[in-house]
Structure formats: C-alpha cells, structure tokens
Amino acid sequence: MIVHIPHSSRLISAEYTKQFVVSDARLQHEMNVMVDSFTDELFEFDCADENVRTIVFPVCRLLVDPERFADDSLEAMSKKGMGVLYSKTYKGGPLRRRLDEEERRELLEKYYFPHQKSVSDAVREEFRESGSSLVLDGHSFPSRPLPCHDDQTEPTPDFLPWDRFISHARKIDGNNRTENQRVGLHGRNQSPFCRCVCSV
C-alpha cells in the first residue's frame, strides 16, 4: 500500500513568500483553512509486518498543489485561481501576484514533477512486486463547505470511501457501509470531492 499525503505541509520558503500579496497573518490564516493539518500523523501506520510506503509532499499546497493538473486548461479549479499554482484565496480574493513562465517552470520542476514521479515509481514497484497497487490518498476537510467548493451540501461527509474507477469499489463500499453506520460515520461517494491521485 502507498499512503499519499499531499496537503499536510505548511512550508513556504522565504524565497517564495515574496510572491504572495497578503500579510503574514492572512497567509497563516489561509494555511489554517486550506492545509490538511496533521494528516501526515493521522495516516501514520505502525506497519512492522506490512509493506507500506508513505509519500508526503514537502511544501504547502498554496505554493504548489500536487493534486492539480499542471496544465491549467485541464484543471477545473484553475478558474477559481486555485490551479497547480494558487493565485486566489479560498474566498476568491487575491493571494499571489502573477507569475511569469520562468517562475512557474521553476516551481513545477522543483516540486511538482519530482513528486509525481515518486508516486508513479512507487505504484510501478508495487505492481511488480504484487501484481496490484493500492493508493490511500490522505486528506482532511471541514465539516462545512468552503466558498471555493463546488458542492455546498451540508454536512460534508466524514470520509470519501472510493473512486468509481477503482476495481471492486462496490464490493468495498458494501462491506464497509454497515460498519460505518455502526460507529456513526457518514461517507459519500464522489462528493464533495471526486477522483484521487493517479499514477501516470
């Protein structure tokens, strides 16, 4: 199993903070809202007997979001200024100045593409070893939708159990639904978020 943690980091190095047009306090607030805080700890497994690899994206999603398409024309959230390189806050206000092509290329080559390669390499290695691969995409999200979310249905679910493209998804869902109800958890498939990180 591969545990993928894309949004836990709050790191934005000093060389890049100058790209942001909000105050330090406002940037910290934006991190408080947008970062999946402590997911690197929540999804930490004690797996002495299991073959589990954890891949954590090293920098804040406000700097580079590894779960967006690099091509803004393919990324729906880019219309809200929240593509691979965020330019707007979760409320739609200005977050970052316009980057030129060289700045954009530097960030993608430094953080985005190496991370994608790490995930892809891990999936290929697991396939070679076992003939299949399972990726657990570790996130957290608020109990109420943010203004930037397309789906404003309340409350948001406790978890999103599967993507419809995953093999045996219906069987997994059926096996888990009774147990989820027993412990008081609410899951919703494909909403408010859909898809997961994919190896390419």
Regarding predicted confidence, which is higher, 95 or 44?
A: 95
Tell me the mean pLDDT in the region 103-122: 97
Residue 2 DSSP code? E
* Of 6, 148, 163, nearest in space to 77 by CA: 148
Query: What domains sit in the chain, N to C, each tagged with a CATH number?
Result: 2-140 (3.40.630.40), 147-200 (no CATH)
Average model confidence (pLDDT) across the chain:
83
- pLDDT value of position 178: 54
Q: Which residue do the tokens 């109420």 mark? A: 144
pTM: 0.82
C-alpha distances out from residue 172 to 47, 55, 139, 161, Å: 22, 24, 19, 8
- pLDDT value of position 75: 93
